[in-house]
Amino acid sequence: MKRWPYDLFQLVISLRKGKRLSELRVLIAGGGTGGHIIPALAVAHELVSRHAAEVLFVGTARGMEIRLVPEAGFNLRLIDVGPLKNVSLVTRLRTLMNLPRSVFACKRLIREFNPSVVLGVGGYASGPSMAAALRLKVPTMAFEPNAVPGLANRLVGRRVQAAAVNFPSATRWFNNCEVTGIPVRPDFFTLQPPAAGAAPHLLVFGGSQGARIFNTHLPQIVAPLLDAVPGLTVLHQSGVRSARQTQAAYAASGADPQRWQVRPFLDDMPACFARANLVMARSGASSVAELAAAGKPSLLVPFAAAADDHQRYNAEAMVNAGAAVMLLEWDLPLPGMLLKTLTDLLTSPERLSAMAAAARTQAHPGAAVRIADRLAALAVENIAQI
C-alpha cells in the first residue's frame, strides 16, 4: 500500500513555471448517513485550518447533510438523485432514468465552483458528482469507510486519482489507495482502560437512533446476566423514540434497578466508552473506528439491512483482528445465545484485555489531517502537470 509524500504540497507549490496554488477549492460530494458526512466534515475543518481552503458540499435533501453541513458552517448545494440499492425495481429504474440529469447538474455546479479537487465520500450524491468530475478531468479522490465499498465508490474506484480507506480489504477496489482510517474525535484516542479489579460495566449502543433489536433482547436477558456477572452494571442507549418502552421492559425484567440504566441519548460518548469493559454495538464504520481508537473490546451485531451487507464485513474485519466477537441478528433470539456470549466475555477479563489491545491495532490517529493533506497535494500535482 502506497504511503503518500505529504511534503509534496510544500515542495511542488513553488515549482513548475512559477504556478502557485493561490486558492484551494474542494468540493465534497456525498452523505446520506452520519457514517459518510461526519468524517467528511472533519476533513473539511482540516482543509480550512491547514490549507485555508474553500469547501463546498454537494448532497441531497434526504440525507443528514441537510442539517449537519449548515450547522458546521459550510455551504451545501443539493442535487436530485435517488437510491439504487435495497429499493423496488420501479425506484431503481426511475433513478437510472434521472441519472444523466443528475450528472449534468453536477457538471454545471463544478464549472461554477471551479474546484481544485473533488472528494467523494459515498452516498447518493457521490456517484453523479464523481462521474461529472472525472468527465471534466478535475482531480478526484474517493473516501471509503467500510470494509467493502458502496456502489458509488465501486463504480469510480479505478478511475480516481487517489483514495483513502479505513480497512485494508477495501484497497483492492481503488487506484492509488492508502489506509488512512476514519476521522475520529481525539478524545477517543486518550481513553484509559477501566481500573483493574473494578466492577465490570457493559455499554449497549445501537447508534444515535438506537437499535430496535437491542431494545427488544437486552431486557429479556438482563436479570440472569446480572446474576451471572457479579457487580455488573449496564448502560443502554435506546434512542429517543424507544426510550419509554425500553425503560419499561427493563423495569419489568425484575433486574436490580440500581445496576442498569436506560438513556435515550448519550451526550458524552468518550466518557461512556471509558467506563465500559465491553461495548455491544452495531458495526457501522464510524462506530467501529471509535471502538478501535478507544481500544474497546466489543460484541458486534451487524445491521442486516445495511447496503451491500457492509456492516457484516466491518464486523468480520474486527473479529479477524481479534478485537471483537460477532453475532448476527438472527442469533439473538436463539435461546441462551446472547446471554452466554455476554456472560463468557464479561467473566473473562484476560480475554477482554487481549481484545482491547487488538482493537488498538486497528486505530488510525490523524486520519482527517492525512486526507486533507492528500487532497491539497492532488491539487498541486494537477497544477504541476499543466
Tens of pLDDT along 262-316?
999 888 899 999 999 999 999 999 999 999 999 999 999 999 877 778 899 999 9
| Residue 27: strand, helix, or coil | strand
> Are residues 259 and 127 part of one domain?
no
Distance CA 311, CA 300 (A): 9
- Domain-embedded: residue 2: no
Distance CA 5, CA 24 (A): 19
Considering its fold, how many domains does the chain have in total? 2
What is the separation, in whole angstroms, between the first and last Cα of the chain?
Answer: 27
> Are residues 117 and 212 part of one domain?
no
> Are residues 236 and 140 part of one domain?
no
> Are residues 327 and 208 part of one domain?
yes
> Are residues 255 and 352 part of one domain?
yes
Residue pLDDT, tens place only, 208-246: 666 889 999 999 999 999 999 999 999 999 988 889 999
Here the CATH number for the domain that contains residue 61 is 3.40.50.2000
- Domain-embedded: residue 75: yes
- Domain-embedded: residue 3: no
Residue pLDDT, tens place only, 172-200: 999 999 999 999 988 999 999 898 888 99
- Domain-embedded: residue 326: yes
> Are residues 196 and 131 part of one domain?
no
**Which residue range forms the structural domain that includes residue 69?**
8-183+366-385
- Domain-embedded: residue 1: no
The set of cell numbers assigned to 305 is 439491512
Distance CA 303, CA 189 (A): 26
Which of the two residues, 380 and 299, has the higher pLDDT score? Answer: 299
> Are residues 229 and 318 part of one domain?
yes
Distance CA 178, CA 377 (A): 14
> Are residues 170 and 203 part of one domain?
no
Q: Average per-residue pLDDT in the chain?
A: 88
The DSSP result for 150-172, as a single string, is -HHHHHHTTTSSEEEESSGGGGG
| Average pLDDT of span 357-362 | 96
Query: Which amino acid, 172?
Result: R
CB atoms within 10 A of CB 53: 22
> Are residues 90 and 103 part of one domain?
yes
Beta strands in 33-139 (DSSP E): 54-59, 75-78, 117-120
Residue with cell 457514517: 35
> Are residues 191 and 177 part of one domain?
no
> Are residues 97 and 13 part of one domain?
yes
> Are residues 246 and 161 part of one domain?
no
